[in-house]
Each structure stands twice: as structure tokens, then as C-alpha cells.
């Protein structure tokens, strides 16, 4: 009986400590030390309206915007997942071929960067490779009435290096890039 009471008390104590106290302390520290990260790195308009997150990809379909990677989760954070289709799956092969053909029609003669036709592991990647952004420069520059050189400068300004100089790859946050373009050269209605 003594062991049973000890087990029950340990369960209660560890549940309170690890289930309530620890999460509250960590959340409180995160709010104080890293408030932007703790709240999802939300991007807001001047009036306070949330328009997105630096961490979650969004679909852009207008030709005047840089487009994100395809999303197996349909850009729904609640449904975060990859497609789970293997490289020999005919459905995946057909989708990638169709996407490549569509992109090559947009930019004839240029190789299509792989991240423009494949989904990320989460289906929510907010970034593109610099090569994928460069591939889209002619279309976006033309739609916005900008020179390709000026557009490349905007893309370069939004290209993030590897973290700590060696982790990951260079990347471009699509939402931040498109918002900057809207500030610099708004689309005509």
C-alpha cells in the first residue's frame, strides 16, 4: 500500500511540475526574452491586421507576385504534412511534369529549379531558393513594370544567408519579398 501511495503522489507531483509549472515558466520566459518568435513571427499591417507569418508559406497566384513552393497541405497549418508520394509514384510524376511544362512556358529555355515543382516536408515552407526566385524575376518584373535589374536587387535584399554561416541553405522569404514589392511598386488594379 505504501508503494501505491508513493506512486500516486509522484504522479500528481510530476504532473503538476511538468504539466503545469514547467510549461508556464518556459512560456513566460519566451514571452519576455523572444516575444516575436513566441507569438509566431506574425506580420501585421500598419493598422495591426495580421496578414501572415514569417514561418508559414502562403499561396500567391497573381503573375505580379513571386509564387511559393507547391504545398501538399494546401497551405493549411492545421494540415501540415508532405505528400508522402514516393519518387516512382505516377501521380507525383504527372504533377511535377505538368508543373515543369507550365513553368517552362513562362520562362522558355531556362531550367526549372526543383523547389518550384516539389513540396516541402511540412507543406508550409515560406522560403524559396535564390534560384527559384531568380527564375520568376522576368515575369514579376514585367507585370510590375520594373526592370529585371531592379527586381534582382529587391530579391537580393531579401536573400537570407545560411544560419551561422553553415546551417541550411540561402533562402528568400516569399511573403516578405512580395510585401516589399507592394510597398515599392504596388500592383495596378
Q: What are the pLDDT digits (tens) for 85-110?
A: 888 999 999 999 999 999 999 888 89
- Bridge partner residues of 128 (DSSP): 172
Examine the domain organization and report whether 170 and 117 are in the same domain.
Answer: yes
Tell me what pLDDT residue 177 has: 95
**Taking the CA atoms of the chain, what radius of gyration do you get in angstroms?**
22
Examine the domain organization and report whether 133 and 54 are in the same domain.
Answer: yes
For the chain, what is the domain count?
2
- pLDDT bucket at 136, cuts 50 / 70 / 90: very high
Examine the domain organization and report whether 91 and 54 are in the same domain.
Answer: yes
From 13-17, 93-97, 118-122, the region with the lowest mean pLDDT? 118-122
Q: Are 111 and 94 in contact (CB under 8 A)?
A: no
Examine the domain organization and report whether 62 and 28 are in the same domain.
Answer: no
Distance CA 3, CA 87 (A): 54
Residue with cell 504545398: 71
Tell me what pLDDT residue 93 has: 93
Examine the domain organization and report whether 72 and 29 are in the same domain.
Answer: no
Tell me what pLDDT residue 77 has: 77
From 38-42, 63-67, 149-153, 156-160, the region with the lowest mean pLDDT? 38-42
Q: Which of 57, 54, 173, 52 is nearest to 124 (CA)?
A: 57
Q: pLDDT, tens digit, for every residue of 38-67?
A: 888 888 887 888 888 888 888 898 999 999
Examine the domain organization and report whether 51 and 142 are in the same domain.
Answer: yes
- pLDDT bucket at 79, cuts 50 / 70 / 90: confident
Residue with cell 503545469: 20
Examine the domain organization and report whether 61 and 101 are in the same domain.
Answer: yes
| pTM of the full structure | 0.79
- pLDDT bucket at 189, cuts 50 / 70 / 90: low
Whether 47 is in a domain gets the answer yes
Tell me what pLDDT residue 83 has: 78
Q: Which of 119, 36, 117, 27 is nearest to 76 (CA)?
A: 119
Question: H helices within the chain, ranges in order?
Answer: 2-16, 22-33, 35-38, 90-106, 130-144, 148-157, 174-184
Examine the domain organization and report whether 53 and 26 are in the same domain.
Answer: no
From 77-81, 82-86, 133-137, 179-183, the region with the lowest mean pLDDT? 77-81
Whether 122 is in a domain gets the answer yes
Examine the domain organization and report whether 156 and 119 are in the same domain.
Answer: yes
What residue numbers bound the domain in which 4 lies? 1-39
Whether 58 is in a domain gets the answer yes
Whether 189 is in a domain gets the answer no
Q: Which of 165, 93, 155 is nearest to 128 (CA)?
A: 155
Whether 152 is in a domain gets the answer yes
Distance CA 80, CA 163 (A): 24
Amino acid at each position: 500500500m505504501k508503494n501505491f501511495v508513493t506512486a500516486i503522489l509522484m504522479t500528481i507531483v510530476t504532473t503538476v511540475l511538468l504539466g503545469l509549472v514547467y510549461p508556464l515558466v518556459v512560456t513566460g520566459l519566451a514571452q519576455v526574452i523572444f516575444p516575436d518568435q513566441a507569438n509566431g513571427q506574425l506580420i501585421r499591417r500598419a493598422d495591426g491586421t495580421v496578414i501572415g507569418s514569417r514561418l508559414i508559406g502562403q499561396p500567391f497566384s497573381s503573375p505580379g507576385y513571386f509564387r511559393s513552393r507547391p504545398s501538399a497541405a494546401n497551405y493549411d497549418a492545421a494540415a501540415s504534412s508532405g505528400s508522402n508520394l514516393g519518387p516512382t509514384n505516377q501521380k507525383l510524376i504527372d504533377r511535377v511534369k505538368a508543373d515543369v511544362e507550365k513553368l517552362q512556358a513562362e520562362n522558355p529555355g531556362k531550367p526549372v529549379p526543383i523547389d518550384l515543382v516539389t513540396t516541402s516536408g511540412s507543406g508550409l515552407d515560406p522560403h524559396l531558393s535564390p534560384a527559384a526566385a531568380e527564375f520568376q524575376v522576368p515575369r514579376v518584373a514585367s507585370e510590375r513594370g520594373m526592370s529585371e535589374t531592379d527586381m534582382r536587387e529587391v530579391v537580393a535584399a531579401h536573400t537570407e544567408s545560411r544560419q551561422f554561416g553553415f546551417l541550411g541553405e540561402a533562402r528568400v522569404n516569399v511573403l516578405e519579398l512580395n510585401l516589399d514589392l507592394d510597398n515599392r511598386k504596388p500592383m495596378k488594379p
